[in-house]
Structure formats: C-alpha cells, structure tokens
Homo-oligomer: A and B are copies of this chain.
Amino acid sequence: MPIYRAPVEDFRFLFNEVLELDKQGDLPGFADLSPDLVDDILTNAGKFCEEVLQPINHSGDEEGCHFENGAVRTPKGFKDAYKAYSEAGWGGLTAPVEHGGAGLPHVIGLAVLEMSLAANQSLTMYPMLTNGAYDALIATAPDWMKEHIVPKLISGEWAGTMCLTEAGCGTDLRLMKTKAVEQPDGTYRMNGTKIFISGGDQDLTDNIIHMVIAKIPDENGVIHDDLSTVSFFMVPKVLVGEDGTVGARNQVNTGGIEHKMGIKAQATCVLNFDEAVAWRLGPKLEPAKPGEKRSSSAGMAGMFGIMNAARVAVGVQGIALGDVAYQNGYAYARERRVGRALNGAQEPDKPADLEIIHPDVKKMLLQARSFVEGARALASWTGLQQSIAHSVRPEAETAALLADLMTPILKAYCTDMGFEAANLGMQCYGGHGYIRDNGVEQFVRDARINMVYEGANGVQAMDLVGRKLGRKGGAAPMALFGLLTGWIAENEKDDAMKLFVVGVKRGVENLQSATLWLAANGPKNPNDAGAGATEYLRMMGIVMLAYLWGRMAKASLGKDDPLHKDKLMCARFWMERMVPECPMLLERIQAGSATIMEMQ
C-alpha cells in the first residue's frame, strides 16, 4: 500500500531559511505568525493528512462515488474524514477572521493544501472548491449572504462549487446556453445544464452553494453568442432566506456523475438547473448604449477570482501528486533488490543490490524530487507575492504583477511536470507499478486531470503569451526580469554561488531572447506566438525553478546536514539537467508557425 510522509521539514526550511516569513511581519496576516505557530500548523496538518486523509485515498479510488436516486454518495470513510477536516478548521485557514476564518496568509494555506492534496486529491477538492466559493462571495455578495452563508462555508458545514462548463463549451464560454431571467423580487430563475461540476453533489454537507455563470437575455430577450450578458450567480442546493432560514430544495438537480480515468472519489456532476432560484452577484448588467456594443461582462469578473485561485490550487495538485508518487518510488527503490552496482557489488552478501544504486533510477528520482521541491518553493514564493500585493509596501504592485504572471506557470508547468514526476515514481516499480493494489498508478491517473481542467494547459500558455506578457506595456515580464537580473547581480561575485548563478543566467538569457522574439513576431503573425506559447510557458517554469533553486542553494551553502546537502544536490541537478532545456525551447519557439499551420 502506498505511503505518504508530509514534507513538514521542507516547508520549515522554505519558510524559515528561504522566504524568511519571520521578517514579513508588516504583511497582512503575518503579525502574529511566529515560527512556532507555523510549525504547529504544519505539524498538525501533516499528521492529519498522513493519518486521516491518506488511509482512505486508495480505497476511495477503488470504491469511487455512487449515484443513486438522484444523489451522490462518497466512498466509505469520506464523511468522517471530511467532518474531521472541517472541525480541525483546515477549511477556513486563510478565510478572514471577521467571517470566522483563521486569517492566515496564502503561503500557509498553500502548504496545507499541498499536503492534503498529496494525501487525498479527491477528498481535498470538496473543501478546496468551497474555499473559492466563499472568497467569491466575500468579494461580491450582499451582506445577508456574508452573514448567513459565508460562515457556514468557512466552517465546512456547507460546501461550494464553481459551475462554468457546459456540454458545448468549456474553454470558449461565449457559447454558454444557461440563462437566468430576472423576477419582480430581484432574484432570477435559471435554466440550463452545467457539466464537469466537481463536488456538484455529495453527502458530506447539508447544503451546497453553487457559484454559477449564466447569460441574462438582453433587453430584447436575446441570448448572445458572446460574453456580453454573462453574469455571476449564487444558486444554493437548498434555498436560504435573507434572514438565514433554510427552506425547500432548490431546483438544482444532479443528472449523473462521470466515470473517469481518476479522481474517482471526487463526484464530477452534471447539474440541471430547472427554474432554479438564483441570486445575481456584483454589478448589474447595464443595457447597451444606443449604437454601442456591450463588449465586456460584469459577471466574468466574479468568476475570474475563483478561477485564478483554482488555477493556483490545481498547480499545487500537480506538485502534490508528483511528491507522493516520488515518495513511493523512492521507498520502493530502497527496498527492491535488482542487479548489481555498475562499479561493483555494493552488498555482495545479499543476492542483489538495492534498486536505488542504479544511476538511471537515481536520476528518475532526482528529476521528480528537484521538480517537486523547486515547484513547492515557487508556489510558496507566489503565495508570499500575493500577500505583498495586498500590503502597503512599495513593491506591492510588482508583487501583484508577478503573482498574476505565475498563475499559468503554476497551473500548466507544475501539472505537466507533476504528471511526469508521477510517471517517474511509477516507473521505479517496474511491472508492479501497473498493478492497482500497489497504489502508485492511481497517482498517474489522478495527476492526469490536472493538465486538462481549470483551463487546459495549452489555454494557459495562450493566456500567458496572448494576455499576460503584453498587458500594461509588458509590465509583468519587465518585473520578472528585474527580479531575476537583480538576483544574478547580487550573487555573481560569490564564488560558492557560481554554478547556480551561471545556470539562472543562462535560463534568463534564453527567456529574454524568447520574449523579444515573441514581441517582435507575435504582432505580425499571431500564429507564431500561438505556436511557441507552450514552449515559452515551460521555459518560464524552468527559469523560475532555477531562480528558486538558486535561492535554496544560497540558504544551504556551508551547512553540512543531510537536508542542506540534498538541497545543494537538487540545485545542481536542476542547473545541469533541466536548464539545458531552455535553448531547445528557444529554438522551437523561433521555428515559428509556418510548418505547423500547414496541417489541415
């Protein structure tokens, strides 16, 4: 059976020695955040993940969710584990104190999220989506919802979902058919079908608050094939009055659950809205001015908040699945005996040496590990940027740009690489990895979803290259290059840092060349930008991990214990073996789109 050991020690290293959270007391939520408190949270969360969430991960996959009489039943043990999760307060860790949350910064929330996901992605997705729902309500909802709904979401008594996709539209939400019509009392009646709704129904909570986007017919009753009339709605499974009284079942019905490759214990639902009562959130859609076309929709903004948080969270899923698969591959390779070391038997008295003595096996494991630990640093660093963005520091605006720029990197790079890492962990098992009872193949199946949902990874690349790079005159990439070249300048006189500075510098130079190439060619031929977008995103991921490995190396130099020596080993591995991908990616980008566009 698979194992999982929460990486508490690694987070401690990151928080104390690299990001130095104790020096961030001026940031919102950091004032009372002593290293002891952080340690307590990490230790308890880690223990909870290892002891409560992980033991029902494999059984949850085997059993899957049930759909009977229009309702979902989660696998054995999920109800109790979810209750324990909520009671321990893990669901409200980063929620504002005034609504009943713990008010902790994102960097802590992401750490706990990663450990929960590694232990049990299917289960953790239920509260993870709730988190998105209460954040959106806090940002957009009227007071009565903040009073009567938000605290129940934060406590985990109720759960939340996000409802975007329909059968005919996923990435292209313009094609959405679900509509909502205003009633004299100011509420709406919603009709339509949403698909792929994670946690769309379950037996863990008494109520589910669906955050839904739908179209409002325009002043002529027409539904447009664009985003102009899209609005953002709160649609509860069980109706809630403005005074908080819980009423009858709303007409939101579960049409079925999907049978999927993985995350089988997570209920992916078809939801039918049949004259469902819906509350519009955020600013009201104004009629188009005569002669003008409505071009943007107020409604998407509400959903974007959830979507961005969800994209970061999905990136963390990639890291989490990569880690747990790595841990199992490592454990297996340290137990299984096969062959002899290439330079002579290591344990001649045993019938064979351990699998892990083989350089090819070590390399697979190091590739997974250096990605996981580097990406963990990137997610934590991004969480810190989010807090800086909300502070009064002079670099707040830069931090906001960087955090925004990292959203597609975390989502796409970390899920692509997380899937690779999961496969490397599985590969260490040989044929035994393919057997379901051994549990490691589940990580590969579960990790595969992360590359497709919440915006397929190619869509993330288009978001990065088509939107984020150019916005505000290229402010985000300029902020990034400022950060990276600043770090290089700061460290290049240090001989002990030479190897790492050279690696980061090489990555940065390639990334700069790629950015210039895209800036020069994209406007002339947008297909050139599209053809290189995935490679560009991957390169930025590699360079960011090089930068963070550089910082981790610096924090580890001269320390002779296993943790710090391993950090230096991983940092060297990243510079020697992963950074060399950058020139190849640059060459692919510069190949442009001519050959590709020939395909019919």
In contact, A339 and B172 (Cβ under 8 angstroms):
yes
Residue of B nearest to A360 (CB): B458
Residue-wise interface mask of A (365-395) relative to B, using a CB-CB cutoff of 8 A (1 in contact, 0 not): 1100000000000000000000000000000
A517 at the interface (CB under 8 A from B): no
A437 at the interface (CB under 8 A from B): yes
Residue-wise interface mask of A (514-538) relative to B, using a CB-CB cutoff of 8 A (1 in contact, 0 not): 0000000000011101110110000
In contact, B444 and A448 (Cβ under 8 angstroms):
yes
Contacts of A444 in B (CB 8 A): 261, 448
**CB under 8 Å from chain B, chain A span 559-576:** 562, 565-566, 569, 572-573, 576
Contact of A362 among B165, B169, B262, B597 (CB under 8 A): B597
When all copies of this chain in the complex are counted, the total is 2
Task: Given A437-B259, A598-B569, decide whether A343 and B525 contact each other with a Cβ distance below 8 A.
Answer: yes
Q: Is the interface of A mostly helix, strand, loop or mixed?
A: helix
In contact, B351 and A431 (Cβ under 8 angstroms):
no
In contact, B363 and A534 (Cβ under 8 angstroms):
yes
In contact, A427 and B458 (Cβ under 8 angstroms):
yes
Residue-wise interface mask of A (428-444) relative to B, using a CB-CB cutoff of 8 A (1 in contact, 0 not): 01111111110001001
Contact of A260 among B436, B526, B577 (CB under 8 A): B436
In contact, B458 and A431 (Cβ under 8 angstroms):
no
- The answer for the CA separation of A161 and B186 in the assembled complex, in Å, is 71
Contacts of A600 in B (CB 8 A): 562
A192 at the interface (CB under 8 A from B): no
**CB under 8 Å from chain B, chain A span 373-429:** 419, 423, 426-427, 429
7 contacts between A and B (CB under 8 A): A172-B338, A172-B339, A261-B435, A262-B434, A360-B461, A360-B533, A433-B452
16 new A-B contacts at CB < 8 Å, known A165-B431, A172-B338, A430-B456: A171-B430, A196-B431, A225-B351, A259-B436, A260-B441, A343-B526, A359-B593, A360-B462, A360-B531, A363-B596, A430-B452, A569-B599, A576-B591, A576-B595, A580-B587, A581-B584
